[in-house]
Structures are given as structure tokens and as C-alpha cells.
Structure 1
Amino acid sequence: MVTKRHQEAVVTRGAIENDTISAVAAKFWAPFTAETHENFDAKLIDTIYDNEMLKTSFNSRKIMMLEFSQYLEAYLWPNYVPEKASKAWNMSIVVMINEKFRERNLDSWNCFTKKSEHFPHFFKSILQLSLQEEGLASSEHCALLTFLVNAFGSVETPIVHKETRKLVSIEIWAGLLDSQREDLFKKQKKLKKIWENVRQKMTAAAADNNEFERTYLWNLIEKFKRVLNSLEPNEAQESEEGEVRDPIDSIKYCERFIELLIDLESILQTRRFFNSVLHSSHILTHCLLSSLISTDAGSLFFQLVQLLKFYARFEIDDLSGRQLTHKEVSEQHYQSVTRLQKAAFRLFNETMKEFYVLNVSGVDTRRALQKQFGDMNHAEVYRFAEYLHLVPAFGGTFREIWSFFFGLFLRKIWTKIGR
């Protein structure tokens, strides 16, 4: 039985002949009318984007018609001029690439091999758009994330890999705490020399041209946190015009963002340095402490977060991709527990004697951790988190963040150590 939704997505011969897009395509870019094409008109791209794409919330039938007419290959990219490309122009390319992936087109990026010198500018423009929080519709935010998912899933394509690797290189470790980096260097000693060379280049450069790429994923994560926080019961979502936004749009954005993180974690080339960023940003903890994850509307979000949690704790060596042995996994677990007990011994020698003398089996349970940390005040919990290199050093901004880190730290140790 063919559903109504399926019927709407099917493009028939009659629909093609009667559709406005087909008539415009025949006049400007369709291959079968190449000899009678009118001159290129950049305003036409804006018109098509506003009326046929954005206004219809990227209706699949409309996009399929544009894809069928080779809109990207015959009009958008051949005429692309970086200095003149508008938001609508860039977004039109994004939507068409997403459609190719939806149709499982194996040559989705093939058109960019022509005029490939413009691709870096286009890609950076898309990255800049994805960080904007105003001036974009909810459907545009989701379309941009879908494009990023497709891009990071195409690391085998040279032209795409050249741009995406800038976002997940060792330079993104500049956003880690110094103590966190040192912990990583103890595990992978050869990385310290690589980092020192990279750091010297960043310091010596008069103009740091890579700062945007180095901080991009950090900034995108912060944007996600703000969107997630806006879904809290006491937060109201308002548009630029002051109208209350539909939370469904924000939920879709959160779901798509977690999908992006899952892809980054599941591919070794992107996971290698990003996994440390994921843990340092405490994004899993933010998700687990959010109101969305416990609601009916957040059921898919919950499933995606659980999948992300699985990949984030995957038992492999991030640098080489080698699977860790059972002994190595056990040693990591014991080291985590021992480090926690050392923190208790050093910071609370008198009040936590019972805790730091217990063996591992008596400490690594949720009940044991709740018993020890559940009654602590916020300052004490923060001192623990600081000692374990989970948070920045105690400073003037403590009052603004203690309430969050109180829950964060407890959740962190219960989920990482407790069983």
C-alpha cells in the first residue's frame, strides 16, 4: 500500500512537465536545452531558495525536482564566485548535497572537482553559517548539521578530507586544560613532541590563520549546549521577532548534533584527537543532566546519547585504533579508582578515611560513591573535580559554575567508575 507521504515524494513524468522548477530549469540550466539557455542570473538562485526551498521547509519533492534537473552540477557550482556567493547560494549547495546523500548518490562530491579552488572558501562559509544563532531558520540549522554529517562521513574523498582534517587535527587540543593535555601525553609520549612543534608554529605566526578551524568544534559544542539549555522548563525560546519558538525544532537540532558527534567518534581519523575534546567538554554529562533526556519527546535523543556514550568509551587506542586487551581495560579502571582515592586522601584525609582505604570492589559501585559524595558541599566537590583535572582551577567565576559542576562531577564519577 502506497502511503500519502510516499506519494508526495514520488516525482512522476506529469509532475515534471507541470512543475515550475522544470520550466525554469529548461530556460537556464537543463542539459537538453543547452543551446537556448539565458544568461546566468544570481538573483534567480535567491528566488529559488526563498520560494522553493526555505518557504517549503526543504520539501523533498521540490528538492528532488531540482536534483533531477542537475541544479547543482549545471548552475550552482559552475557559476560559483566566492566573493559574490550569498547565504542563499551557499545554502542551496548544502541542500543539494544533502539530497544526493539522501538518494545515496555515490558521486555526491564529484561536481566540486571542477573549480576545486573555490571549495575551501565555500566550506569555510558553511562552517561560519553553522555557528550563527540568529538569522537562520530552524530548518537551515538542521540542514547545516546534516551537511557536516555527510562531510565527516566522506573522509575518503580528497577534496573533503583536506578541509575536515583541519577541524580534527591535534591543534584542537589547544582548548584542553594544560593538566588534561599532560595526562594525554603521559599515555602517548610521542604526541608531546608533535604538540610542541605545533604550539611553536601557532606562537610564531603573526596572524593565526588556523584559529577558526582550531576552535570550530569547541564553539559548535557550546552552541549545542545553549540550544539544549533553552529546552529547560524555565527557559523560553524566542525568535528575533519575539515570538516563542517551537521546541520541536530545537529537539531536532539536538538529535542531529548528537548524530554528528557519533560519526566523529566512530571514524578513527576524526576520533583520534576529538575524543579528548568530547570528554573535556563534558557534553555527555550535559546531555544526561538535561530535562530533555527524560521526556517522551526526548526518547530518540536519549537513544542517540546512549549510542554516543558507547562510542566515547569504546575500548580502543585512539591513536592507533588497536583494540585494548581485557588486562589494559582493567588497569585503566583500577587507575581511575585509585586516582579518586588518592584525591580523597590528599584533600580530605580526616573525613574520608573509610573511603580511601577500601579495595576497588568496595568503591566502584554507584551506592558507594553516592554515600561518599552525596552529602558534600559544592566547594568540596569542585576541589575533587579540579584535582582530577575535570574542571579549570578554582577562580573568580566559581560562583557562576559551582551549581552545574556539583551535578556534573557526581554524574561523571558515577557513570565512569560506578557499576
Structure 2
Amino acid sequence: MRLSRSFLPTLKENPTEAQITSHRLMLRAGLIRQTAAGIYAWLPAGLRVLRNIANIVRHEQDAIGAQEMLMPTIQSADLWKRSGRYDAYGPEMLRIRDRHERDMLFGPTNEEMITDLFGQVVKSYKELPQVLYHIQWKFRDEVRPRFGVMRGREFYMKDAYSFDMDYASAVDTYRRMMLAYLRTFQRLGVRAIPMLADTGPIGGELSHEFLILAPTGESGVFFDSALEEQDWLAEDVDITDRQSLEKFFTRMTSFYAATDEKHDEAAWAQVPAGRRREGRGIEVGHIFHFGRKYTESMDIAISGPDGAPLYPEMGSYGIGVSRLVAAIIEASHDENGIIWPESVAPFKAAIINLKSGDAVCDGICEKLYAAAPDLLLYDDRSERAGAKFADADLMGHPWQLIVGPRGAKEGKVEIKNRRTGERTEDTVEGALALVLKNHG
């Protein structure tokens, strides 16, 4: 993309309405614009980040055998009345009526809908297990939306739902999902710690939140520092083997980690004093096992091994895709702007032409850009060099390919690593190989 023709409106000053770093930087870097309280339009660069995150989430869900589908945003209130949650959910649910005076709602979550769809299709225990997911927009009418997309009313998330024959099988699915989440966050370039958590209005028994540590986090957290220091995915896990899953899960949950709602002072006292950590965390994922809560309340039974009705065990697994954009920024920025992990960055690199109009500089920049026009942002504007560098740092491209008259005469490109600030020099081919090495 050529910056001179792009819809990428950067801002020099911090917007007065933005209270936290991610909100300020998302507005300043041209990722989003607010259209109503807690509702945002995603501009081209922001949408690219959103899609990159969603694709990583999707790949790791597929890897454990989850099947993608797409459910509508508008749901019939009758489904929620069947489960008993319609009146209990609270004012966060946006209730509406269609022209025929039928009660409808903008879905805040999809347990009822997926349970009903499952019941329409699956009739026998032989068809289990089933894990279904979608990545879809949701709406919760927050009383006080704030912090940009971190606490917005409309948000984009992945939610998966599992159906198993018995508790032991449901726990296997839960453990596979925890592994998938850890792999997802590793690929996103962040460390999200799974912590024992409250289940909230969805209900259930077994529950973990995944939190990225940040001072602006809304949840108080208590955890063993070993969870930050160890590589939990070094161990090979066979997702088809119950013992392998159990070993992984036992190891993962053997160290203390809990949100403030589940903090246990007695258990906390057993953690060595030097390893106790307290702080704040941003919730980016939440997994639940809630058994037969919805299959029983909605009377969704299938034929069991003995021919008797069987109510499947269920779990629910969410990842906040749009919230992750903000959480990654909170965890990865400096005084100059965003520092994107390469896996989610909207562009791999910015090409910075220090002398637009110079034939040699222009030629090298065009050669760089032609190699990957969808992955590189070419700053071809007639702006001073300082403004180009400032915008490149603000937008957080992992790399900057800097072309100036001195180096251009020798066919060289200066390469800046945004995270480390390190600068090197190489040929056009060498620069492209470095920037694009992990793509495709």
C-alpha cells in the first residue's frame, strides 16, 4: 500500500477522550474511529491486525479438530427463555422487537443457539465429540463503555462450544482447548497466563481466564513467577492421548495463579515468598466447563450407548479478538508508539523514501515495494524525513526500510528493527529476505 493513497489518518496529538495507552495509540495510528459510545469503525490498518489475529486463532482451533461455522448476530429470545437466562442475564443484553412484535436480541454469547443447532442435527452418542466455533461480532450494552475497544459495547470474538458424552471426555476437550489457547497466544507474541477464575453469568464449574499482565488491566491477579519464566509449550503433547493431556494440564496448573475473585490466601501462603507476584491483568480469553446446564434446561438429549436419553456435557471457550488488539498494544509499546509482533502487524515493514523525486531513491523504493505490495507500506509522501520516521514508529511496523541518497548510490538499504532499534545495512535483496523471511 502507498501511504500517499491510503486511508490511514494518523494524529500527532493524544486525543483527549482516550484514557489508556492502547486507546490513544489506536486512534493516533489510524486503526479505529468511534462512531457511537463504545462502538468503533475499524479502518484498513486496524482491520488488517484484526484479521491477522483471527487467522491465528482460527488455525489453532482447526488444529485440535474444532469446526468453524457462523451464527447470526440477532437471536430469538425464545432460545434464551428455554434456558432460563433471558430475564437473568441483565441490562447488558440489547433486547429488541421485530415488526411482528417478536422478542429478539443482539447476541452477547451463543450457548443457547449452538445447543439448539446441535439438537437439530446430532441424535446419537456415536456422533460425539463435537467442537464447533465461530468468529463473530457480539454486543453487550456496558453501562459505562471506556478504554476504547478494551471495554466497548460491540466486539469481535471467537467462541467455541464442545459437546461430549461424559465428564471425563469433556475434561479432555477442556485440556485440548487450554493447549490451543497457549499456542495461540504464543504465536500472537504475548504471554497470557491461565488463572483459576469465576464463571460469571455463563455458569459452570471448571474455569480459567487467560490474562496478559499490564498495569491498566481491570482484574487483580496473583500468580507464581514460574508461570512467566518457563516455556510451557516445550513439552510435546499428544492431543489424542488422555494421559498426555492430563500430564500437560497437571503441570500447567500446578503453580498458583488466580484472579482476585478466586484468590485463596491459604494456598497463596504455600507459594515461596520470592516467587509471589501480584498485579493487574487484561482478560483476553476465558474457558469454561459447565456440564449439562444447557442441554438439560433446553431438553437437548441424544441416544446413549444403552438407548436411554443422554444429555451431553458442554464447554464454552472464548477469545476476545478485538480486545486482543488493544491488549497487545498495552503489552508492547514505547514512548514513540506501537511495537507490533510480526505475526499480527498490519504491514511487515515501512519503506521510507528520504528523497522522493530522486531517480535512484525512487527506483530502489519501487523495487522494494513491487516485491510484496500487500505486505509493505511505502511512505511515498512529500514529507520531511522526521515526519516519516515518527509515523513509522507510531504505527509500529516491525521493520523500517530506509532509502536515502548516500546508500542508494551503492544499492544499499538501511534496515531498522522497531523493537530493538538496531540498524543494519544490506542490499535490496538482503533487506527483503530479512523482512519477509517468516512469510509464506
TM range (shorter): under 0.3
More strand by share: 2
TM-score (norm 2): 0.23
TM-score (norm 1): 0.23
More helix by share: 1
Specify which structure has the bigger relative contact order, considering alpha-carbon pairs within 8 angstroms and separated by 6 or more residues: 2
